[in-house]
Amino acid sequence: MIFNYIRVSTVLQHTDRQLAGVSCDREYCDKLSGKDICRPQLQALLDNLREGDIIQTHSMDRLARNVQDLLRLIDIILNKGATIKFFKENLTFYANKKADAFQRLMLTLLGAVSEFERAIILDRQKEGIAIAKAKGRYKGSKKKLTDAQIDEIKEMIAEHQNISSIAKKYAVSRQSIYNYL
């Protein structure tokens, strides 16, 4: 089977530019950061991968944003007997053929560039937040619960209701419940 793997960092981003017109048998799409490999669709793809399958992805940074994860994922894919093809970098790694030294070098170099790019983005974000805080413009993220909901939660806690069920009801984490209390 031929699988396309597509990833964007947020649900607000569009996947249109990735693998447009590239045919496949099944597509997997994550709308999550590539900071690690804990992505549901990536894990589903790896679980469904069989010998002889082909994975197509737009570019290396769509698969992983750091060199260690990139190398680990490629090893997992190749060890399952599958092939992976990166369109932007024009690199293909075949399960039945050992990667040549140049391919391995390009993989590591380009992976390092993606990792560096992510680090720069995070640094810029931190700088922007620090400047906004200094100007009194940054208030953090918006509250997920209204004051009325917080009062309801406090009543539920007083009635000894389970924190996990309360968190599930309001679609927040348990830690958020504790923070509001």
Enzyme catalytic residues:
9
Rounded to the nearest 5 percent, the helix, strand and coil shares of the chain are 50, 15, 40
Sign of the dihedral defined by the CA atoms of residues 3, 82, 36, 39, in that order:
positive
Task: Dig out the tokens for 50 from the structure.
Answer: 């069989």
| Sheet order of strands, 83-86 included | 26-31, 2-8, 54-57, 83-86, 91-93
Cα distance between residue 51 and residue 83, in whole Å:
9
